[in-house]
Amino acid sequence: MSWQETRVPFGERIALADVDPDDSGPFAHKREAEPLIKENVKRMEELQELMYAERKHALLIVLQAMDAGGKDSTIRHVMDGFNPQGCHVVGFGVPTPLELAHDFLWRIHPHAPRRGYVSIFNRSHYEDVLVVRVEDLVPEAVWGARYDQINAFERLLADSGVTLLKFFLHISKEEQKERFQERLDRPEKNWKFNPSDLETRSKWDEYMRAFEEVFAQCNHPWAPWYVVPANKKWYRNWVVSSAIVAAMEGMEMQYPPAPPGLDEIVIE
């Protein structure tokens, strides 16, 4: 599939079982995609500088996945085209007692990007309709109301000049097993393995249903979801970088006009 085809159709339900995590789109081999990924990352660098200069637009990138799905790797290999001066990466883990004492979006909103900036969410407000649902942490009446609340929040961001891109990095259960085993086998990766991840893995099907409900309830033109086949990391990187470049080019940004009198300045 092309990167455009990874976008979830608006107003439709999808079954993740119908999306092949091994898909590599138009490429037969990694070497075919690598030059295009480099071009995208370079273009992202140019467009971010333009966004930072113009200060009229902002970009929010949401990354969701099962454990070992490649969120960190995507940030490292795709987002390194962004200048850290205008880019903020935040990971959302288990809520603190202070965060739990507020509404579930209280900890999210301060990290939304201001105009001219990019924010990248490693996990996000969607944990409150994924983990909370599957692990039965709050009643259904509570998490069920959050889909509309998320839609309203994202619409507010969009109406305020934020472009939202939401990526689900879709790996197979077998691929997750291999990545977990690598974390066990390589001492420098042991720190990334958490035994509690195995409990989450045992509820794989429940999480797939929860993600499918997210795509059905919270997928709109102003905040689209992309389901990215992610077993092949290089294909994942091409899809994500291509979608980002297309979204930023669609902003039709321009550099601010030069201050008057520059042509009269002489630097001695």
Q: Each residue of 121-140: pLDDT tens digit?
A: 999 999 999 999 999 999 99
State mean pLDDT over 83-97: 94
Q: What is the pLDDT of residue 223?
A: 98
In the predicted model, is pLDDT for residue 38 greater than 90? Answer: yes
DSSP H or E segment with residue 221: none
4-251: CATH number = 3.40.50.300
Question: Parallel, antiparallel, or unpaired: how do β-strands 225-229 and 87-91 relate?
Answer: unpaired
Q: pLDDT band for position 268 (50/70/90)?
A: confident
In the predicted model, is pLDDT for residue 194 greater than 90? Answer: no
CB 100 within 8 A of CB 137: no
With a CB cutoff of 8 Å and minimum separation 6, the contacts of 98 are none
Q: Could you tell me the pTM of the whole model?
A: 0.95
Phi-psi region of 210 (alpha: psi -120 to 50; beta: other; left: phi over 0): alpha
Q: Where are the domains of the chain?
A: 4-251
Give the number of other CB atoms < 10 A from CB of residue 78. 24
pLDDT digits (tens, 9 = 90+) for 179-189: 999 999 888 88
Q: pLDDT band for position 193 (50/70/90)?
A: confident
Q: Which of 165, 171, 168, 166 is nearest to 68 (CA)?
A: 171
Q: Which of 153, 128, 156, 152 is nearest to 142 (CA)?
A: 128
In the predicted model, is pLDDT for residue 8 greater than 90? Answer: yes
Q: Which of 9-18, 139-148, 193-202, 234-243 shows the lowest per-residue confidence on average (mean pLDDT)?
A: 193-202
Token pair of 98, please? 């202070």
Three-state secondary structure call for residue 91: strand
Q: Calculate what percentage of the chain has a pLDDT beyond 70.
A: 100
State mean pLDDT over 187-199: 86
State mean pLDDT over 253-259: 90
Q: What is the pLDDT of residue 68?
A: 94
Token pair of 211, please? 């993600």
In the predicted model, is pLDDT for residue 252 greater than 90? Answer: yes
In the predicted model, is pLDDT for residue 260 greater than 90? Answer: no
Mean pLDDT for the chain?
A: 95
pLDDT digits (tens, 9 = 90+) for 157-172: 999 999 999 999 999 9
